[in-house]
Amino acid sequence: MSITTAMVMAAGRGTRMRPLTDDRCKALVEVGGRALIDWTLDKLGGAGVERAVVNVHHFADRLEEHLARRAAPHIIISDERDELLETGGGLAKAAPLLGDDPIFVANIDALWIDGETPELDRLAAGFDAEAMDFRLLLSPMGRNLGFPGAGDFFLDADGRLTRRGEHDHAPFAYAGVQVLHPRVLQGVKVEPFSTNRLWDAALAQGRVFGAPMDAFWMHVGDPDARDEAENRLTLTP
């Protein structure tokens, strides 16, 4: 499947990234000499994305100025200056800009170095619009940094996901990128809420699938994780 549109979630305040976000939004924090949002947009562009909808809130003017200097993908701003809508609400507000075909949705704090087959190509190639509403990129627990949790999901033999629930551990963490079919946003009220609400509705119908990564995932959510990611990038050939 060829996916040409993406939504990039860049409107958060980045409170866990302080003091690095005292003078900029999290999307503009640099790792390896590049802003987090550039790592994300470059990955998306390499996967064939031509249009990227980016939501803005914290230090929005500075982020828009940065994005205006990029040649590709074509950037469309979803403005959340007046109200921060969280991940689900941000998607609902941007829905008129996203089109009718499956899209990538990417957080800006997910980094990895691709192997022979790019992770986003693998993620898109396995998306079946008839059977799936979401296909999530997954990091196997123990093969990542910056994610201290107990895992998010179990993966069935057919690729369907179930939540960790009451289990102490689950083998996979959500790695910050998904393919979403925009039909899940039809009629959704624009208000602050988490994407988890959308996932839960689709999970109940068996329409959320996962794709385990081959690459080592780096969740750059705080200054320590940023430093760890920089160290790992220095050691990566």
Average pLDDT rounded to a whole number, residues 23-50:
95
What local confidence, expressed as pLDDT, does residue 162 receive? 95
Check pLDDT > 70 for residue 237.
no
CA 188 and chain centroid, separation: 20
What local confidence, expressed as pLDDT, does residue 5 receive? 98
Average pLDDT rounded to a whole number, residues 177-188:
97
Check pLDDT > 70 for residue 214.
yes
Note every long-range contact of 220-225, with CB atoms under 8 Å and residues 24 or more positions apart, other chains counting: 220/29, 220/31, 220/36, 220/109, 220/110, 220/111, 220/146, 221/16, 221/17, 221/109, 221/146, 222/16, 222/17, 222/146, 223/17, 223/18, 223/19, 223/20, 224/146, 225/145, 225/146
Mean pLDDT of the chain: 94
Q: How far is CA 4 from CA 39, 52, 172, 213, in A?
A: 17, 9, 27, 21
**137-171: pLDDT as tens digits:** 999 998 899 887 889 999 999 999 999 988 899 99
Average pLDDT rounded to a whole number, residues 193-221:
96
Report the share of the chain in percent with pLDDT over 70: 99
What local confidence, expressed as pLDDT, does residue 14 receive? 85
To the question of pTM greater than 0.85 for the whole model, the response is yes
What local confidence, expressed as pLDDT, does residue 234 receive? 82
Average pLDDT rounded to a whole number, residues 41-54:
97
Which pLDDT band, with edges at 50, 70 and 90, does 236 fall under? low
Could you tell me the residue range of the domain that residue 85 belongs to? Answer: 5-235
Structural domain count of the chain? 1
Q: For residue 138, what are the β-bridge partners? A: 174, 212
CATH number for the domain harbouring residue 223: 3.90.550.10
Mind giving me the DSSP string for 31-53?
ETTEEHHHHHHHHHHHTT--EEE
Here the tokens at position 144 are 């990542």
Average pLDDT rounded to a whole number, residues 192-214:
96
What local confidence, expressed as pLDDT, does residue 185 receive? 97
